[in-house]
């Protein structure tokens, strides 16, 4: 059964019944910000179900450069790529204090045997991953850096209390560079021009889109 610790009580409840059922086969663990949960090429096969917090899924080069594939929050999970018996395909690090349920690979496979509908859940998730990966490759091949930055900002922005498009997630220029496959210096130059042009502003930790971004720069 799921650990009934204080962390579990305080965590955001899972809304997906299948994930709730699978979570009962694991144990609740809490991690601080900037903790590495899995490393690329690890042989571990556990699945992590996020109850609270946020993580980034990324790849790193020997020289320390990173590319962020995606970020995940409460109610999402990662680690399913190891069900084929292969190593981890990416590293995962917490972006803030995070609580999750860790379910061993053996328990996941047993769960699949008794809940075949979870296989469809996995298929849909993996299809979405392939779509996102295909789109990322297309952007890197066909879009310039400005276009990739503009698309990222538009995807992350949501209406704020004043009706403006704003990004609540704390994003540094290095974070943006990691996500679009560019250098921090290039991102800095583009943001400087967007700020001068009155397209964006930074309010505390938020990026606010003041008006529609130009199609090209």
Could you tell me which residue, 136 or 105, shows the higher pLDDT? Answer: 105
Domains in the chain, start-ordered, CATH in brackets?
6-141 (2.60.120.10), 143-209 (1.10.10.10)
Mean pLDDT, rounded, for 69-75: 88
pLDDT band of residue 92 (cuts 50, 70, 90) is very high
Mean pLDDT, rounded, for 189-208: 92
Contacts (Cβ under 8 Å, ≥6 apart) of 76:
49, 50
Taking only the tens place, the pLDDT of each residue in 150-196 is 999 999 999 988 889 999 888 889 989 988 888 899 999 999 999 99
Q: What is the pLDDT of residue 15?
A: 55
Residue 4 has pLDDT above 50, yes or no: no
* Cα angle, residue 19 at apex, residues 15 and 21 outer, rounded to 5°: 105
Q: Torsions phi, psi of 213, nearest 5?
A: -70, 145
Sign of CA dihedral 34, 35, 36, 37: negative
Q: Whole-angstrom Cα distance, residue 115 to residue 130? A: 24
């Amino acid at each position: 059964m799921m650990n009934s610790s204080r962390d579990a009580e305080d965590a955001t409840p899972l809304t997906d019944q299948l994930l709730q059922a699978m979570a009962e086969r694991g144990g609740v663990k809490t991690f601080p910000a900037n903790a590495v949960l899995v490393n690329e090429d690890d042989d571990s096969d556990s699945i992590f179900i996020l109850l609270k917090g946020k993580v980034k899924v990324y790849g790193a080069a020997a020289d320390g450069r990173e590319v962020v594939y995606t970020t995940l929050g409460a109610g999402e999970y990662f680690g399913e790529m190891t069900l084929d018996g292969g190593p981890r395909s990416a590293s995962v690090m917490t972006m803030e204090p995070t609580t999750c349920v860790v379910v061993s690979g053996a328990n996941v496979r047993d769960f699949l045997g008794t809940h075949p509908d979870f296989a469809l859940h996995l298929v849909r998730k993996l299809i979405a991953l392939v779509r996102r990966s295909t789109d990322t490759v297309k952007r890197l091949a066909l879009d310039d850096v400005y276009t990739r930055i503009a698309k990222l900002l538009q995807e992350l922005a949501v209406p704020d209390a004043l009706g403006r498009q704003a990004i609540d997630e704390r994003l540094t220029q290095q974070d943006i560079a990691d996500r679009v496959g560019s250098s921090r210096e290039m991102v800095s130059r583009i943001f400087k021009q967007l700020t001068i042009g009155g397209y964006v502003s930074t309010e505390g930790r938020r990026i606010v889109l003041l008006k529609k971004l130009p199609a090209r720069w």
